[in-house]
Amino acid sequence: MIYKGEIVYLRALEPEDYEKTYLFRDYEMQKMTCGPIRFSSKAMEKNWAQAKALDNSRDIYLAICLIENDEMIGWYSINDIDYRNRKCHCGGIVIGNRKYRDGLAYEEAGNLAFRYIINELNMNRITGSCLRQHIMSRAMMEASYWSLEGIERQSIFKEGRYHDVCHYAILKDEYLEHLNNGDFEPRKRMLRLGKAIKQLKADNKQ
């Protein structure tokens, strides 16, 4: 199954994708995630990609590829899938190709993945987390009407210090209401994103 937009499409992660994912694990990307900064060998990466490609019962990893040339530029992870309670956690988007970070491809990949979560997995509650200082991740969730449900203080240790983690969530009904109202139209979303970035930067200075 392929979810296709105008710039990118999503497909299942394949074992051979490890050649790309290995290159995508750079320091700039890892320092802004909630996970630890780790060294990864090609052998470790090969085993990781194979495991994710062969078992999607609790976690689904989707390759993000360019329509124009089928190049894989990153992946999207859907984690802790709970089919009984209809909830999951968005592990987030990893864009390995720096050219497409924070651009239209990034935005479109997230929208496609979210449509899949709602329309195919039938999830009712979707959560997401990010470091408190990761302004862009927080702003993107707030611009998409996710609610900040709490801040886990000094939760993650990396780069020699503890970091707070912000926990967000959105319900299916909330998403559909805003979708039907046209609130996710590019212009409206960009205005909300700009306001959210400005407000979060101001809050961080206090």
Q: What is the pLDDT of residue 104?
A: 81
Helix (H) / strand (E) element for 94: namely strand 87-95
Residue 29: pLDDT over 80: no
pLDDT band, residue 152 (cuts 50/70/90):
very high
Residue 155: pLDDT over 70: yes
User: Among 11-15, 28-32, 182-186, which stretch is predicted with the lowest mean pLDDT?
Assistant: 28-32
Q: What is the pLDDT of residue 102?
A: 65
CB-facing half-sphere around the CA of 25: CA atoms within 13 A? 17
CATH number for 1-97 (one of 3.30.1330.60, 1.10.3720.10, 3.40.630.30, 3.30.70.580): it is 3.40.630.30
- Please give the mean pLDDT across all residues of the chain: 91
Residue 19: pLDDT over 80: yes
Q: What is the pLDDT of residue 1?
A: 58
Number of Cβ atoms within 10 Å of the Cβ of 196: 19
What is the reported pTM? 0.90
* pLDDT tens per residue, range 52-71: 999 988 999 999 999 999 99
User: Among 6-15, 93-102, 121-130, 184-193, which stretch is predicted with the lowest mean pLDDT?
Assistant: 93-102
pLDDT band, residue 168 (cuts 50/70/90):
very high
Q: What is the pLDDT of residue 116?
A: 95
Mean pLDDT over 105-132 rounds to 93
Question: What fold is seen in the domain 124-206?
Answer: Aminopeptidase (3.40.630)
Mean pLDDT over 113-117 rounds to 93
What are the residue ranges of CATH 3.40.630.30 in the chain?
1-97, 124-206
